[in-house]
Every structure is written in C-alpha cells, then in structure tokens.
Amino acid sequence: MKSNTDKNQMAINTVELASRIDDDNEKMLYIGAIVGISDKFIDKEYVLKLKERLKMTRVGIELRNEGIKEGIKEGIKEGKLEAANKMVKKGSDINEIIEITGLRRDEIQKLYELNKDKN
C-alpha cells in the first residue's frame, strides 16, 4: 500500500504520534529511533522541521541539556589549558601546574613541547 504522504512528512507525523506516548522512557526510545532512522532519508528542509518538533518534546529538552553540560565541560577544560599554557610560558614547575589546574601530566608536557617549538 502506497501513501500519498511523502517520506519527509511521514517522519514528522511519526514523531508527533510518538510524542503522545505517556511513558517518558518509552517516548524517548521511540522518538530517538525515529530520528536515527529518518536521518538517513529525509531532506534537509525536513530535518529542520523535525528539529523544531523535537524542541517541544522531553527528548529535545534532554538533548539540549546534555549539549549544555558538554559545552560547560569543554569550556572548563579550555580554561584550564589556557591557564596551564600561561604557567608553562612563565616557567612554572610542572608539578605546580598539575596541582593548580588538575590537568594530567601528559597534557601539560604537550604544552611544554608546543611552547618549546615556538622558541
């Protein structure tokens, strides 16, 4: 049986249907599966529409929150690396840099090597 609705709209309709599931875990499972599968065949325009629909679901909120958490972690790591790099340039002891920044020894040694190459 062939439908008059195209594959793009069917993917969006399916997500809308899945968003009506009462059990949040089940809802997230189905919406995640739909998005994963439909990503292979829907057009870019419909990806944006699907993304808009997802923003209104718990899955969308969870994904956004996860992205925010990852962004914060990366920002903190970058800040530590910048501080460590300044300390390396000032000639600070590697053990002191480890203690202050919490970075691993190999990460700081890479900074020493990078700064050595620049001189």
49-76 tens-digit pLDDT: 777 776 666 666 777 788 888 889 999 9
Does some domain include residue 89? yes
- Please provide residue 108's backbone torsions phi and psi, each rounded to the nearest 5 degrees: -75, -35
Confidence of residue 112 (pLDDT cuts 50, 70, 90): very high
Tell how far CA 23 is from the center of its chain.
25
87 and 40 both lie in a single domain: no
**pLDDT(101) > 70:** yes
40 and 76 both lie in a single domain: no
Are 52 and 65 a contacting pair, CB within 8 Å? Answer: no
Tokens, residue 55: 């923003």
Are 64 and 71 a contacting pair, CB within 8 Å? Answer: no
46 and 4 both lie in a single domain: yes
Does some domain include residue 32? yes
Tokens, residue 28: 């997230």
52 and 76 both lie in a single domain: no
What pLDDT digit, counting tens, does each position of 9-43 carry? 888 788 788 878 888 778 777 877 877 777 677 78
41 and 78 both lie in a single domain: no
Does some domain include residue 6? yes
* Structural domain count, the chain: 2
